[in-house]
Chain A
Amino acid sequence: MSTNTEWPLWEVFVRTKAGLDHKHCGSLHAADPKMALQMARDVYTRRQEGSSVWVVRSDQIVASDPGDKGMLFDPAEDKVYRHPTFYKLPDAVDHM
């Protein structure tokens, strides 16, 4: 539990370039949204990692329960036909 003297936690998502998705890259404590964005920029994009940054309050993220892992994800295990690996892709199609 965080105490009320601690700044809230934020999750940081960085997009490396246009067209790609934002990827989760870490978290930080900040007092307000502006500060979170500024710090995310300073901490996570110093080496040209980013062209866009998202920050989200960690307590706003709804997460699955680790205890439900078996129930939620194991049933997909034997359904190999869901992978589109049985098709031959034309050479012109990249990045699949």
Chain B
Amino acid sequence: MQASINLPADPQLQYLLRIGDTCLILGQRLGEWCGHAPILEEDIALANMALDLIGQARGVLTRAGDQCPQDYDEDQLAFLREERDYFNPTMAELPRGDFAFTVLRNLMLSTWLKLLWERLQDSSDTEIAAIAGKALKEARYHQQHAADWLVRLGDGTEASRRRVEAALATLWPYAAELFAADAVDAAAEAAGLGPSVAALREPWLAEISAVFAEVHLPVPAEGRFRSTGRQGVHSEHMGFILAEMQHLQRAYPGGAW
């Protein structure tokens, strides 16, 4: 059994892990569709997007590992942390749900990531800026893919509309966390590493509202619930997804294929 690694307390490291973990966990959730999507072509599309996200996670986690005194590599960071040391927003870890849920979550998170990558192109960390340049193209495609499907489902049959509305009711409360800036954001902003997530809120709402408007889907009001994944405090689903992801590296340390 491989022991967990310890992370130094470093706001800039946490900033990078928040981004890398969002890609890693969402990528894992999308990968769950492999062999289960409604049609063959979508199966391939979802797996393609999962692989884009895993690729982004690899780049960002490698960079994050460079900043640890122990010089962790991407695999150690991906597979050997305790749950409390993962910093993805809770929305990314929620179970994959039905296709409408996956489409809506992809729309919300790919729009968020796209806005983030756009700004990270100007990062003071040139390696992060380069990763952002590549990831931005992928995120733009993910956003368009999700938006097209949301319009199709929202405008489709009674059943597809009902599923979109149910997905929205479940997911929307988790959106507020995406823009809840804290000391980690402030440190990253001050260092020129990347933007505070607070800056993403307005453009995100504008882009999401534009897609919703196409199918007359009202943008829900913001409630009082706040998820806390970006602080390392996760939903009950996180332990299960980590167990699945970590099992091999824990049981066969350093195993490769």
CA distance A87 to B39 in the complex (A): 53
* Interface window among A17-25, A35-43, A64-72, A74-82: A35-43
Across-interface contacts of A34 in B (CB, < 8 A):
148
Chain A CB within 10 Å, residue with most, of B41, B44, B145, B152 = B41
Per-residue CB contact flags for chain B residues 35-48 toward chain A (1 = under 8 Å, else 0) read: 00001111011001
CA distance A55 to B152 in the complex (A): 19
A43 touches B44 (CB 8 A): yes
A6 to chain B: closest CB distance in Å?
A: 11
Residue of B nearest to A37 (CB): B148
CA distance A38 to B148 in the complex (A): 9
User: Does A46 reach chain B (CB closer than 8 Å)?
Assistant: yes
Q: Which residues of A in the span 28-54 have a Cβ within 8 Å of any Cβ on B?
A: 28-32, 34-35, 38-39, 42-43, 46
Q: How large is the interface on A (under 10, 10 to 19, 20 to 34, 35 or more residues)?
A: 10 to 19
The number of residue pairs between A and B whose CB atoms lie closer than 8 Å in the complex comes to 26
Across-interface contacts of B152 in A (CB, < 8 A):
31-32, 35
Across-interface contacts of A35 in B (CB, < 8 A):
148, 152
Known contacts A35-B148, A35-B152, A38-B145; A28/B41 CB under 8 A: yes
CA distance A34 to B48 in the complex (A): 18
B41 touches A43 (CB 8 A): yes
Known contacts A28-B41, A39-B41; A46/B148 CB under 8 A: no
CA distance A31 to B152 in the complex (A): 9
Pick the contact of B44: A29, A30, A31, A42 (CB < 8 A).
Answer: A42
Residue of A nearest to B47 (CB): A42
> Chain B: interface secondary structure?
helix
A42 touches B45 (CB 8 A): yes
Across-interface contacts of B44 in A (CB, < 8 A):
42-43, 46
B110 to chain A: closest CB distance in Å?
A: 14
CA distance A43 to B44 in the complex (A): 7
Across-interface contacts of A38 in B (CB, < 8 A):
45, 144-145, 148
Known contacts A28-B41, A30-B41, A31-B152; A46/B145 CB under 8 A: no
Across-interface contacts of A42 in B (CB, < 8 A):
41, 44-45, 48
CA distance A32 to B45 in the complex (A): 16
CA distance A29 to B145 in the complex (A): 17
Across-interface contacts of B45 in A (CB, < 8 A):
38-39, 42-43
CA distance A39 to B152 in the complex (A): 14
Residue of B nearest to A40 (CB): B41
A-B contact pairs, 13 of them (CB 8 A): A28-B41, A29-B39, A29-B41, A31-B152, A34-B148, A35-B148, A38-B144, A38-B148, A39-B41, A39-B42, A43-B45, A46-B44, A46-B48
Give the 7 A-B residue pairs with the shortest CB-CB distance, closest first.
A39-B41, A42-B45, A42-B44, A34-B148, A43-B41, A43-B44, A42-B48
Other than A30-B41, A34-B148, A39-B41, give 15 A-B pairs with Cβ distance below 8 A: A28-B41, A29-B39, A35-B148, A35-B152, A38-B45, A38-B144, A38-B145, A38-B148, A39-B42, A42-B41, A42-B48, A43-B41, A43-B44, A43-B45, A46-B44
